[in-house]
Amino acid sequence: MRLAWGPEEEAFRAELAAFLDAHTPKEAVGLDFGASDEPGIPQWARDWQATLFDNGWMVPGYPPELGGRNATPLQTLVYQEEMASRGLPRSVHFPGWAIVAPSLLEFGTDEQKKLAPAALRGDMVWCIGMSEPNAGSDLASLTTRAVLDGDRFLVSGQKVWTSYAMDAQKCFCYVRTNPDVPKHKGITVLIIDMDTPGIDIRPLRQITGTTHFAEVFFDEVAVPKENVVGTVDDGWRVTMGSLAHERGGLWLQTTAAVEHVLVDLKALARRTGADGNQAVRRRLA
């Protein structure tokens, strides 16, 4: 289905295009929505995210204080189209703005909500303590424990495939607080400061040579009770909300990006003469 853009959407696109023409860093062009060959989060990416936030282009549907401009849903689609057509990411660091910030705004306390602007601007880097060696697709099988000890939890366990853990100041961590109930219950989400004693971060080197992922080990890491997001033992509700925010953002980005990839593929086929070649058709199919 193709949408017909009205004058408001076209004016919105023109304003965005003018901004991107003036401010896009050369390093960002052509990146695969979060991919970078540089270790860690490069400074140009931090600056780019801050520039988008300060000018209301980080998450256009949000209000200005959260890096947006109260854009309509149609204007948000225009934004995704324009960014995808230029091969531009909003950030090479996806978890903070796409998962943590909206989750804090939906489930966090008033004090926790104050962390959202820094996550959206990139001033505070977050990692997601979700996957474990035996809890990937079946996330509810997680075994990282958090035991209440007075006014704090003591967290022990292991997370894996934790993006940018080496750069993160905080972890949005999914832990088990009650092992005696069905596995989808007894889960709690905690905000953990990554400089807390007892945390061991071990980078995982990829075949490309980069180290965006890490294993994270927790050994009786003390976390204040006020760092619970939502309520104790009701973390699965927060988990579903977090994943909905992630998948929703990815769907919009990916849909727009794939459309432009197909346009480029068609153009390449015409230039190379591969269009109509049955061998090529079979391989693509």
Helix (H, G, I), strand (E, B) or coil at 161: coil
Does domain 125-234 fall into CATH 3.40.50.720? no
Confidence of residue 84 (pLDDT cuts 50, 70, 90): confident
Side chain identity at 269, as an amino acid letter? A
Q: How far is CA 5 from CA 9, 76, 186, 281, in A?
A: 6, 12, 47, 34
Among residues 27, 111, 246, 259, the one annotated as catalytic is 246
User: What contacts 24+ positions apart, CB below 8 Å, involve 107-110?
Assistant: 107/189, 107/229, 107/230, 107/237, 107/238, 107/241, 108/229, 109/226
Of the candidates 265, 257, 226, 278, which has an alpha carbon nearest to the alpha carbon of residue 77? 257
Catalytic site includes residue 82: no
Global pTM? 0.84
* Ramachandran region, residue 16 (left: φ > 0; alpha: ψ -120 to 50; beta: rest): alpha
Report residue 257 as tokens.
């990006």
The more confidently predicted of residues 263 and 29 is 29
pLDDT reported for residue 34: 45
Say if residues 67 and 124 touch (Cβ distance below 8 Å): no
Taking the CB of residue 182, how many other CB atoms lie within 10 A of it? 9
State the chain's mean pLDDT as an integer: 88
Helices 73-85 & 7-23 angle (0-180, nearest 10):
40
The arithmetic mean of pLDDT across residues 200-209, rounded, is: 86
Confidence of residue 54 (pLDDT cuts 50, 70, 90): very high
The rounded distance, in Å, linking the Cα atoms of 84 and 30 is 9
Report residue 245 as tokens.
């925010």
Query: What is the domain partition of the chain in residue ranges?
Result: 7-98+241-284, 125-234
Per residue in 67-83, pLDDT (tens digit) is 999 999 999 999 988 98
The rounded distance, in Å, linking the Cα atoms of 123 and 265 is 37
The rounded distance, in Å, linking the Cα atoms of 44 and 27 is 8
* Cα distance from N-terminal residue to C-terminal residue, the chain: 23
Percent of the chain at pLDDT above 70?
83
Helix (H, G, I), strand (E, B) or coil at 160: coil
The rounded distance, in Å, linking the Cα atoms of 116 and 113 is 6
Report residue 279 as tokens.
């061998």
Taking the CB of residue 255, how many other CB atoms lie within 10 A of it? 13
CATH dotted code for 7-98+241-284: 1.10.540
